Amino acid sequence: LQKLIHLLQVTDDPLIQEQALITLSNSAAFSVNQDIIRNLDGLSVIGGLLSDCVPKVKEKALNALNNLSMNIKNQEEIQVYITQVCRNIESAPLNSDLQLAGLRLLTNMSVTNDYHHKMINSIPCFLHLLSEGNERTQVQVLKVLVNLSANPGMTRHLLRAQV
């Protein structure tokens, strides 16, 4: 895991980055690896790739963070990327794998009320995706919206959203 994280830091090759991210993502299926990746500063290395110009690299980084977000301590670190994830969702092509990867991460990050406030500005985008997206996109957006709607503090923001 340490070598994979180091590889992500030193290479600019998108194909190598994608493969390293896929491997880290698969490794994150095991809770012990989630802790190791966090302790090796892997979350910030992966999070740094969310601003990469290659959509596939962003998508694989989102998938890795999604798997890593199953851990509460990891969520505390991943939450700093929520605004950027929302921007990636808004700027991604409609129904793209990149958009879906971002929505899946937000679904996990919105299970508790802790980070809902970071998603408020994206509610109009979510509602737009709900009306314009395909079935896969709609289902993923609904998961985020259901999580947000479970928080009474979000009611006003959900009802006042301009679409």
- Mind listing the pLDDT tens digit for each residue in 84-136? 999 999 999 999 999 999 999 999 999 999 999 999 999 999 999 999 999 99
CA separation for the pair 17, 33 (Å, rounded): 19
Q: Rounded to an integer, what distance in angstroms lies between the CA atom of residue 135 and that of residue 145?
A: 15
What is the average pLDDT across 143-152?
97
Amino acid, res. 135: E
Q: What is the CATH number of the domain that holds 50?
A: 1.25.10.10
Give the pLDDT band of residue 143 (cuts 50, 70, 90). Answer: very high
**Binning pLDDT at 50, 70 and 90, where does residue 162 land?**
confident
Residues 6+ apart with CB under 8 A from 76: none
Spatial CB neighbours of 64, under 8 Å, sequence gap ≥ 6: 21, 22, 24, 25, 28, 46
For residue 12, give its domain range: 1-78
pLDDT(151) > 90: yes
Single residue among 20, 55, 78 that ends a domain in this structure: 78
Does residue 71 contact residue 32 with C-beta atoms inside 8 Å? no
pLDDT tens-digit readout, 90-101: 999 999 999 999
For residue range 13-68, what is the model confidence (pLDDT) as tens digits? 999 999 999 999 999 989 999 999 999 999 999 999 999 999 999 999 999 999 99
At 113 the pLDDT is: 96
| Torsion on CA atoms 4, 8, 67, 1, rounded to nearest 10 | 20
Q: Which residues of 119-135 are buried (b: 16+ CB within 10 A; e: fewer)?
A: bbebbebbbbbbeebee
Count: domains in the chain: 2
Are 27 and 89 part of one and the same domain?
A: no
User: What is the pLDDT at residue 35?
Assistant: 97
67 and 123 share one domain: no
- Of 132, 133, 120, 134, the C-alpha closest to 162 is 120
Q: Are residues 32 and 95 in the same domain?
A: no
